Structure 1
Amino acid sequence: MLANHISHLLLPLVSLLVSSVFAYPTSEAKGARTVAHFPKSTWIENIAVRANGKLLVTTLLPDAALYQVDPFHPHQKPVLVANFTSATASGAFGIAELSKDYFFVATSNWTNNETAQPNTVWKINMAKFDVAPHGKRHIEKVIDISDAGALINGVTALDKRAGTLLLGDSNQGCVYALDTVARSYKKVQDHASMKAVPDSALQIGINGIHVWNGALYFTNTDQTTLTKVAIAKDGTAAGPYELVATLHTIVDDLAIGQNGDAYITTGPTNSIELVQPDGSVRRIAGGNANSTLFAGTTAAQFGRIAGDRTVLYVTTNGGLAAGTFDDGGRVVAVQTR
């Protein structure tokens, strides 16, 4: 039912996206390689990278789960780390690390807008998982975000020393700060640049979020924009909201490079767009409507160990968002050097 719900929601966008798909040159990216290919009807939603180089990916379909992928041994099958479906979650969304091997995942029962507490944040202790991968002691519920809309989407570290996160509410168009130690949260930002477009098909405003160099960068799916704002230690705005770029295509998540370049995934546009600090935009990979390698790009993160720090790991939904085919979600390595 969830797959049908998503297809019904997104199929009206396909005709609107055709012009966007071919607005820029298309490229499958030289040297791009698949490091994990999940079964059909798997929607990979987000990604984080461990200090040891292994990847953690969340899934929206067929269930709310977290998997570990080893990019250096692509023949190995993804390993299930956590399944959140029993917690009435229909999908696992953003993920961020606060201290070494302590990751936080947001789940949502986003198909039921009337659910009282659809959003939950979980703590995953990967050190415990490494020792006892078949148990559940590495999974701990942190808190329900009961004031949020139907979809807490993006997650990013705010202050690692203080144990705080920022959470993007895609439906209400705002940001919450979560203190994972005190297990409390509060709304810290609420701005027009975060809102969904009225009467849009998706009703998804703020999507990917990332704190970099004292500022919060965020994409807005409906507005097709990348925006940044300087932030204080508590996550509140400490300056004006600055439009970095309008991409004129669906935008999903983002990764920030060392020089401030933003790498934007575009969902059913099947591409990765590079936005430089001056606001210029160019396509670096994908853009082919029939692409399988980049079918439905959803999120991206850079590698963390020697030899792959210039490798951008990109997740896909396998084409489910566009509704044109079902290839199964992938994790793709793209060399950006």
Structure 2
Amino acid sequence: MVSSTIVRFATAILAGAFPFVHSLPHAESAYQPAHKALSTVYEFQQEAWIENLRVRDNGNVLLTRYDNHPRLYEIDPSEKHPTPRLLAEFPQYARDKALSGITEIRPDVFAFIVGPTRYDQANHTLVLRGGTIDIYTIDLNLEDPEAQLLTTFEGGFINGFSTLPGTTYGLASDSTNGVIYRIDFKTGKTTVAIQDFLLSPPADASIILGINGLQINEKGTIAYFANSARGIMASIPINPRTGSSTGEIKVLATMDLIFDDFAVGKDAIPRDNFTSLI
């Protein structure tokens, strides 16, 4: 993975509430988005790795920062000159942990992942490490919201994060260990929900990122995921009450590209983002 100095948001797509930003390393691609009505909402003036985002019901965007400055921001794209507002920061984790996946668990209440990693800014390289994973929540219904620690558990590089609709559970992807964890937002209990070789990176992979982005359909019956090292987009049927698998993984697409985070459109078609544009 490599951070992006420039983070751009396209207002046309944000209006459709596409929830994720691309974050893996990539060279300039010949791929060009079909939608040309894009505009820059905000550009970080210094190098910043924005790993993930979620769109609030009011249209504001929550951003998790993944470099050596673990922070959670909010930005209002409707402002004339949008500026990120700092919601939470973790100076105690600088150069040790970073923010990755974020998901809405109740109306305007969000959970996000703080996991062990180290970003070598000079060489633009990421050192992935397993260890203690922290799950924090933040209630934006409050006038002065503060991040609260929900639970901790041991894992690898925890990446994608999605809520199982109508339950108190969330599913989180472990890119290095090739598993999907089930997290109970009510009790904090964490268990392995799904484990499969297609979630893991191949043994001879040049990058050790297996399952990356993770999304669940509105009915809670299908989990979509990207595997970066294998270059696949896939789906797996799941139990809508527990998130456990109920069938075999189906590979939807294989490409010579590093699939990363993605969104699922209203037509239930997953769309990966190959550029740094949203």
User: Which TM-score applies when normalising by structure 1?
Assistant: 0.68
1:223 corresponds to: 230
2:134 corresponds to: 120
Provide the rounded CA distance (Å) in 2 between the counterparts of 1:37 and 1:78. Answer: 10
Does 1:153 find its partner at 2:159? yes
Does 1:184 find its partner at 2:189? yes
Q: Please state whether the residue corresponding to 1:72 is helix, strand or coil.
A: coil
Pair 27,152 (structure 1): closer, same or farther in 2 beyond 3 Å: closer
Q: Please state whether the residue corresponding to 2:141 is helix, strand or coil.
A: helix
Measured after TM superposition, the shift of residue 108 of structure 1 is 1.1
Q: Is the 8 A contact 1:206 1:220 kept in 2?
A: yes
- What are the superposed Cα offsets for residues 162-184 of structure 1, whole Å, 9 maximum, x if unpaired? 32100100000110000011110
Which among 249, 270, 274 is matched to residue 262 of structure 1?
A: 270
Q: Which one-letter code corresponds to 2:105 in the other structure?
A: L
Which among 141, 146, 167 is matched to residue 138 of structure 1?
A: 146
Provide the rounded CA distance (Å) in 1 between the counterparts of 2:38 and 2:130. Answer: 41
**Structure with greater Cα Rg:** 1
Q: Please state whether the residue corresponding to 2:66 is helix, strand or coil.
A: strand
Q: Is the 8 A contact 1:90 1:107 kept in 2?
A: yes
Q: Please state whether the residue corresponding to 1:67 is helix, strand or coil.
A: strand
Measured after TM superposition, the shift of residue 244 of structure 1 is 0.7
- What are the superposed Cα offsets for residues 157-212 of structure 1, whole Å, 9 maximum, x if unpaired? 014x4321001000001100000111101001011111112232320000000000
1:211 corresponds to: 216
Does 1:110 find its partner at 2:117? yes
Does 1:76 find its partner at 2:82? yes
Measured after TM superposition, the shift of residue 262 of structure 1 is 1.3
Q: Which one-letter code corresponds to 1:163 in the other structure?
A: T
Q: Please state whether the residue corresponding to 2:230 is helix, strand or coil.
A: coil
Q: Please state whether the residue corresponding to 1:193 is helix, strand or coil.
A: helix
Provide the rounded CA distance (Å) in 2 between the counterparts of 1:38 and 1:188. Answer: 37
Q: Is the 8 A contact 1:68 1:80 kept in 2?
A: yes
Provide the rounded CA distance (Å) in 2 between the counterparts of 1:74 and 1:66. Answer: 22
Provide the rounded CA distance (Å) in 1 between the counterparts of 2:204 and 2:81. Answer: 45
Measured after TM superposition, the shift of residue 107 of structure 1 is 1.2
Provide the rounded CA distance (Å) in 2 between the counterparts of 1:113 and 1:256. Answer: 27
Query: Equivalent residues in 2 for 1:283-294 (5 A)?
Result: 294=276
- What are the superposed Cα offsets for residues 212-246 of structure 1, whole Å, 9 maximum, x if unpaired? 04100000010111110110121110111101111
1:199 corresponds to: 204
Provide the rounded CA distance (Å) in 2 between the counterparts of 1:101 and 1:226. Answer: 29
Pair 186,222 (structure 1): closer, same or farther in 2 beyond 3 Å: same
Structure 2: gaps (5+ residues): 4-24, 119-126
Provide the rounded CA distance (Å) in 2 between the counterparts of 1:114 and 1:122. Answer: 19
- Of stretches 199-208 and 218-227 in structure 1, the one that deviates more from structure 2 is 199-208
Provide the rounded CA distance (Å) in 2 between the counterparts of 1:227 and 1:114. Answer: 26
- Of stretches 248-257 and 71-80 in structure 1, the one that deviates more from structure 2 is 71-80
Q: Is the 8 A contact 1:254 1:262 kept in 2?
A: yes
Pair 62,225 (structure 1): closer, same or farther in 2 beyond 3 Å: same
Query: Equivalent residues in 2 for 1:33-72 (5 A)?
Result: 33-72=39-78
CA RMSD of aligned residues (A): 2.2
Aligned length: 244
1:327 corresponds to: none
Pair 32,113 (structure 1): closer, same or farther in 2 beyond 3 Å: closer
1:287 corresponds to: none
Provide the rounded CA distance (Å) in 1 between the counterparts of 2:54 and 2:129. Answer: 30
- What are the superposed Cα offsets for residues 249-301 of structure 1, whole Å, 9 maximum, x if unpaired? 111101001001212023xxx2xxxxxxxxxxxxxxxxxxxxxxx3xx5xxxx
Pair 245,116 (structure 1): closer, same or farther in 2 beyond 3 Å: closer
Q: Is the 8 A contact 2:116 2:129 kept in 1?
A: no
Q: More helix per residue: 1 or 2? A: 1
Q: Percent identity?
A: 24
Does 1:244 find its partner at 2:249? no
Provide the rounded CA distance (Å) in 1 between the counterparts of 2:33 and 2:249. Answer: 33
